[in-house]
Structure formats: C-alpha cells, structure tokens
Amino acid sequence: MKKKLIFILVIAIIGSIAYLVFFWPKSRVVLSDDLHAELNSKAKASDYIEEVKKGSLVEDADIDTSKTGKVEVTVYVDILGKIRPYKFKVKVSDTLAPEIQTPESINCLLGQPCELSKVIRVTDNSNEKIKINFKGKVDSEKPGLYDVECSAEDQSGNKSNKNIQINIIDINKNNDDISFVTSNGFSGERKGGITKVNGTLIANKTFTLPSGYGPGGLTGKAAAAWSEMEKAARKDGMSITVVSGYRSYDTQKWLYNKYVEEDGKKEADTSSARPGHSEHQTGLAIDINSVEEKFENTPEGKWLNNNAYKYGWILRYTKDGQEVTGYIFEPWHYRYVGKKLAQELYNNGDWITVEDYFGIPSKYAVE
C-alpha cells in the first residue's frame, strides 16, 4: 500500500512538472486572433501577444518574414517568478499587390522610342521580378495623346493596374516649360529655355539655349576642373591649352555663318553648331590645342582621351557617335559634366555619347 502511494505521488509530481513545462505557460499567454505577417515586413513576436496573465514578457523575438510559410517563434515569459520559453507559429504570406509609382501623365519626345518599361517604376514587398504588361499603342512618330493601361503582377499573383496618358511632344514646336522622360528613362526638364536631363545641361541640335543665356566664361566648376586637369597633364609632361572656351550667342552666330559661306550649310552643320545650339555657350565646353583630327594621335590627344574623365571632362563628339550627335569627330572638344557622369561616359575607353547615354535626340527641326 505504501509503495502504491509513493508511485501515485511520483506520477503526480511528473504530471505537475509536465503541465508546468508544456501547458501552464500556454494557458497564461493570450495570442491575437490573426497570426499573420506580411512578406518582408518588420514583425516581432510581441505584436501577436495580447496578454501574459499573472506575468510578463521578458524576451521578445524578431520574426523571419523573408519567405512565405509558417514560422515558429520562441519568446520567454515570466509567470509567477518563473521564466519559461513559449513557442507559437506565425504564417508569413504575400497579400500586397505591386505599387505602380508613375505619374498619370508622361511626356515623351517625338521621334524617340517611348520605352515604357524603362519609364514605369514598380515596387513590391516581395523583392522578386515583377511581370509588367501594357495595353494600348503609342506612335512615337506622331505628336498627340495616347492612353495606355499598365498592369503589374508579382509571383504570388497579386496584381495592380494603372491608366497612364502618354503625350508625344515636339520639343521644337513647344516653347513652354515642360518636363519629359527620355527613351532611356531619365527625367528631363526645360525651364526658362534651359534643358536639363538628370540634372545635366543639354545643348545640341534638338535642345537650344536662349540667345541671352551665357555665364560670360567657363563656369566656376568647369574652370576649377580645367585647372586641375592642366596641372596633372603638365606633371605628366603634356602641354594642353584652351584655344576656344566660352562663346556668346552672337559670336557663335558669326562663326556659323562664316562656315556656311565657306563650305555651304550642309557641310557647316556637321562641324559648327547653329547659334543657340552650341555647347560653348554653356560655359562648360572647351577646344584644346588644335582643332584638327590629327590631334587624336598626338601625345596630348592620347593623354586627354585616357585621363580627361578623371577630372569630369568627356570627349563630346566621338568617332563612333557621328550619326547620333550630328557632328564630325572632334578629338579636341571636351565638355565638363562632373566626375561621376564622366566616369560612366568614359566606359573604360569606349566613349558613350551624351545622346546615347540619356536616350535623347540631336537633330535640327525640319525647316
């Protein structure tokens, strides 16, 4: 009889311990009804614990929401002075649709591909590839308004839609201040007759400068960059000199007309900018040493080609970019754009034109 009582007592103790370890904390912790976390959200176990009866939460835990499925979470609770682990599961799922972050109206340039896939910005909590589709046709060769429906779907099947109006504009026939998107997805703006793309001042056969615009000389940044580059060249045994820097609208007009008289308009348009279209008017362009193609093969020409980008200067009119820029190869003409952009346009020695990089045209308006 005594042994039987001892056996019953042992069983009772074991049962009590098991209850305390496995069941008692659970009976004291009250969870919320919705044990769900959004994919890639910031979630903690405490977000789902409504109450710890006669106790408190002493150690919280972050929930791994990096992938969908059930995730086990372990926290520690203090109940009546005893600290014990408490485990529960949270379901991680993706219920949010992609967000199409694009204005309802977009201006694209006439004659340039309106690559909507480069223009549309879509974000999603899944951080996975988003499927984007467009309904509607856009004729980039014809000015006008075009309606396009954009749909975005993530890999969980969440889908969103947005109606977008595309406006194909002829920049040469529109004198208003206007914003636009280039064919490579860069933002452009013309304000007060000055055009900038991604913050870079543009002057070419398409984009003009007002006749009254002009800093009167090289801009402060361009002048400082030239000084830095000239000193570096001199240190390497090179001798570089600016033979032509800033030119006013009127000076460019005189020079262009001179070329027209000597070579005819068609030929002049390949080597000299029309007034209002010259980079020299920006105060950001210089001609160095010799305005002859043979300058390319001189020690100074080679040095500039390989080093100018380090100081924020680019070879503006490249040998392979003549059809794009509309100008002959000019190994003497350099343009200041800043070190970051110059590094990208240098492209390890295979220069990219400003037009190709930004996705902008360089063509005179049809007369």
pLDDT tens track for 165-209: 999 999 888 778 999 999 999 999 999 999 999 999 999 999 999
Helix (H) or strand (E) holding 225: helix 220-235
Least Cα distance to 337 among 306, 358, 365 occurs for 358
- Residue 330 designated active-site: yes
CA 255/CA 209 separation, integer angstroms: 17
Which H or E run contains 82?
Answer: strand 82-93
What kind and span of H or E run contains 194?
Answer: strand 194-197
Rounded Cα distance, 5 and 96, in Å: 61
Residue 94: what pLDDT? 96
Q: What is the residue-wise DSSP string for 143-165?
A: -EEEEEEEEEE-TTS-EEEEEEE
| Dist. CA 126–CA 137, nearest whole Å | 30
- The answer to whether the beta carbons of residues 74 and 83 sit under 8 Å apart is no
Amino acid at 194: I
Structure tokens at 96: 């949010």
Q: What is the pLDDT of residue 79?
A: 87
Q: What is the mean pLDDT of each run of 10 residues along the chain (367 residues)?
A: 57 52 63 94 95 92 95 93 93 95 90 85 90 93 95 94 94 87 94 96 96 94 98 97 96 96 94 96 96 93 98 97 95 98 97 97 82
What residues have CB less than 8 Å from 223, skipping those under 6 apart?
217
Distance of CA 340 to the CA centre of its chain: 14
Domains, the chain, ranges and CATH?
Answer: 21-93 (2.60.40), 99-202 (2.60.40.10), 220-358 (3.30.1380.10)
Please give the helix or strand (H or E) that residue 16 lies within, else none: helix 2-18
Q: What is the pTM of this model?
A: 0.78
pLDDT score, position 233: 97
355 and 183 Cβ atoms separated by less than 8 Å: no
Q: What is the pLDDT of residue 219?
A: 96
Per residue, what are the HEC states of 48-80? HEEEECCEEEEECCECCCCCCEEEEEEEEEEEC
Catalytic residue among 330, 344, 355, 367: 330
Q: Which amino acid is at 239?
A: S
What's the one-letter identity of residue 171? Answer: I
What pLDDT, on a 0 to 100 scale, did the predictor assign at position 172?
83
Region of 193 please: left (phi>0), alpha (psi -120 to 50) or beta.
left
- Spatial CB neighbours of 339, under 8 Å, sequence gap ≥ 6: 309, 310, 311, 312
CB neighbour list of residue 101: distance below 8 Å, 6 or more residues apart:
121, 122, 123
Helices (H), 124-219: none
Cα–Cα nearest to 99, from 38, 149, 160, 182 = 160
**Residue 354 CA: distances (Å) to CA of 39, 230, 341:** 41, 23, 10
Reading the block at residue 56, the tokens are: 């408190």
Report the distance separating Cα 190 and Cα 188, nearest Å: 7
Render pLDDT for 254-283 as a digit per residue (tens, 0 to 9). Answer: 999 999 999 999 999 999 999 999 999 999
Name the one residue in this structure whose structure tokens are 């007759």: 193
The tokens for 174 are 């529109």
